[in-house]
Amino acid sequence: MRRETKETIDSLKSQMTTAAATLTIEEREEFYNEVNEWTYEQYEEALLCQEPEMQNYEEEG
């Protein structure tokens, strides 16, 4: 991972921790759950962009 990317992630973590600090436990749970769902969606999209196209290996007969 590039240094710039790592620094961006660290900054986002810090911002989320600061934002969550004023929330109740229930709000904090919802906050992190929404962040988790969004980041997982982004992760899945990134994976889909990297997957090679399926090839047809069936023999034509």
**Domain assignment of residue 41, yes or no:** yes
The total number of structural domains that make up the chain: 1
Q: Which residues of 29-39 are buried (b: 16+ CB within 10 A; e: fewer)?
A: eeeeeeeeeee
**Domain assignment of residue 56, yes or no:** no
**Domain assignment of residue 37, yes or no:** yes
**Domain assignment of residue 40, yes or no:** yes
User: Over its length of 61 residues, how does the chain's per-residue pLDDT go in tens digits?
Assistant: 899 999 999 999 999 999 999 999 999 999 999 999 999 999 999 999 886 666 566 665 5
Tell me what pLDDT residue 56 has.
63
Q: Cα–Cα distances in Å, from 55 out to 17, 52, 60?
A: 45, 9, 13
Q: Which single residue is written with the structure tokens 């990317």?
A: 5
Determine the structural domain holding residue 27 and report its residue range. 20-45
**Domain assignment of residue 51, yes or no:** no
